Structure 1
């Protein structure tokens, strides 16, 4: 069987982390390759990691054909929808995939409008144009505010910060705040780890909050600058909630660890008492 690897397709979806790849490898070694690889002719379009693991260990695998594609864009749109249907995909990945779908659909629509030649329709139904951030959010299954933050991360975040979001080291809204810093400061925050990233995000929010004009009930004393828009206030509130939620998670983890330590000490004390009683 001839299987061809198309590098554009292989790298189109974010690669698995080292831990995810190791878990997949353990699963295939224990249970075999349960899911069939998907081919378009001889081109592998889904299952690159499974294929690599099976080749490495000489494990058998099945293949299925999907002949409904006319162009590479058809394949890319199918890949996006296929991955968005998986529950294991993170919110950041969902947002990135939905934004890619919007760009693909827009490019296809422009090409069809600009071309004087008849367009050969694909077997798959053509997706409807994606016009608003709300439509993108609906495709991704996340909020429009999160989509806005992901767009900011894509435009201004250093590669190291993007990788930190992908790995779950920092939340999307915290990363969007850190992405407003100079690239060197972003890289330094990532190098400092999770707490350093959270602190950097907090400082950015505090700086933004202090720069906002103070509010007053007396219109004669009100500053000349326009008050913050309602959407900005909502975003700030959401950021604060996320920061508090992250802190709660940290405290919960610390509390759990302390309980485990106490349980271990109690068990050791009971063992010592029993030993002393039997002596």
Structure 2
């Protein structure tokens, strides 16, 4: 049997199986006497097939195959893992969002953070062939098109994935609880964990188990609990309720509240910072050359002036 390597970071990108799912997989493999789907590896490190490999180790008599693929960086490998999982499994909304977010974060590092030759990048399956080094905006756009979502969703998925990893680091095991649906905290609360200081993360992560939606999931009906049923509606009551619902649907929608606008503004600022980081990586002369640096500061000072206007109570 080949001695393959299990990389915890790669393994943890894959939505975990429940105990019942793992037992069923093992039962099916033993009934077949072989593992039909090959283990996918990069070098000797498993990218796909961690559960199958665990079963193979328990039953070395099983017949299996290994398929090797090559990448130039860990980021490419992670992006491939996420894309592969998104294309082949029935996923919960949380699992899908986590995989899209992990893929987005990995591909940002491929496209801007991991410097390689143009030939190597063009050969990669994880980046655009016509634009090997792309901005975060183009990365979001491409992933959104491929996953049938939106750029806003991809950006939010990146934050959600960071928050979920930060929560699991602070409270080990909570990521699996969320991805398997055992608890269902609000996605905003999950994303907020990554933005907190290291000292606050454990408290925020633990609080994910105590959100309103989770308390409902864990509530059990008492043996002697009395359930009250609403009396049957009359035809007149039903017609009145339908009329009220119709009137509500026709009523003009209220404008977006300030919190929604603040959320949108926060996302745009994050996108702008990502764009600046990308530009300065690709054109370091903008900061190292004195004349260019002065121009960069002149342009960026417009933002400072705008902030000062806001602090003064005016944007005109």
Q: TM-score range by the shorter chain?
A: 0.5 to 0.7
Aligned equivalents of 2:10 and 2:162: distance in 1? 23
How far has the Cα of 1:86 moved from its partner? 0.9
Deviations 1:93-112 (A, max 9, x none): 22222222222222122236
CA distance in 2, matches of 1:41, 1:82: 18
| Structure 1 residues 94-141: Cα deviation after superposition (integer angstroms, max 9, x where no partner) | 2222222222222122236xx5x7455054345134527565444434
Write out per-residue CA displacement over residues 209-265 of structure 1, whole angstroms, 9 at most, x where no aligned residue: xxxxxxxx9xxxxxxxx95349949x9xxxxxxxxxxxxxxxxxxxxxxxxxxxxxx
Which of residues 155, 175, 186 in structure 1 aligns to 2:208?
Answer: 186
Is 2:153 the partner of 1:131?
no
Residue 166 (structure 1) aligned with residue 179 (structure 2)? yes
Q: Which moved more, 1:130-139 or 1:1-10?
A: 130-139
Conserved 8 A contact 1:95-1:142: no
Q: Aligned partners of 1:58, 1:28: CA distance in 2, in Å?
A: 12
> Which residue matches 1:80?
82
Q: Is the 8 A contact 2:56 2:62 kept in 1?
A: yes
In structure 1, the residue matched to 2:95 is 93
- For 2:73, the equivalent position in structure 1 comes to 71
TM value normalised by structure 1: 0.55
SS of structure 2 residue aligned to 1:12: coil
Q: Tell me if the contact between 1:91 and 1:142 (Cα under 8 Å) persists in the aligned partners.
A: no
Q: Report deviation, 1:83.
A: 0.9
For normalisation by structure 2, the TM-score amounts to 0.50
Question: When the two structures are aligned, how many residues end up with a matched partner?
Answer: 201
Asked if residue 175 in structure 1 is aligned to residue 182 in structure 2, the reply is no
Structure of greater relative contact order (alpha carbons < 8 Å, 6+ residues apart):
2
Shift in alpha-carbon separation, 1:185–1:73, aligned structure 2, 3 A: closer
Structure 2: gaps of 5 or more residues? 129-133, 194-202, 220-251, 264-316
- Please state whether the residue corresponding to 2:66 is helix, strand or coil: strand
Q: What are the ranges of 5 or more consecutive residues in structure 1 without an aligned counterpart?
A: 197-216, 218-225, 236-279
Cα distance in 1 for residues equivalent to 2:155 and 2:118: 34
Q: Please give the alpha-carbon distance, in whole angstroms, between the structure 1 residues aligned to 2:60 and 2:43.
A: 23
CA RMSD of aligned residues (A): 4.0
Native 8 Å contact 1:134 1:144 kept in 2: yes
Which residue of 87, 105, 108 corresponds with 1:106?
Answer: 108
1:166 Cα deviation after fit: 1.0
Determine if contact 2:102/2:158 at 8 Å carries over to the other structure.
Answer: no
Matched position secondary structure for 1:97 = helix
Report whether the alignment pairs 1:228 with 2:217. no
SS in 2 for 1:44: strand
| Shift in CA distance, 232/14, structure 1 to aligned 2, threshold 3 Å | same
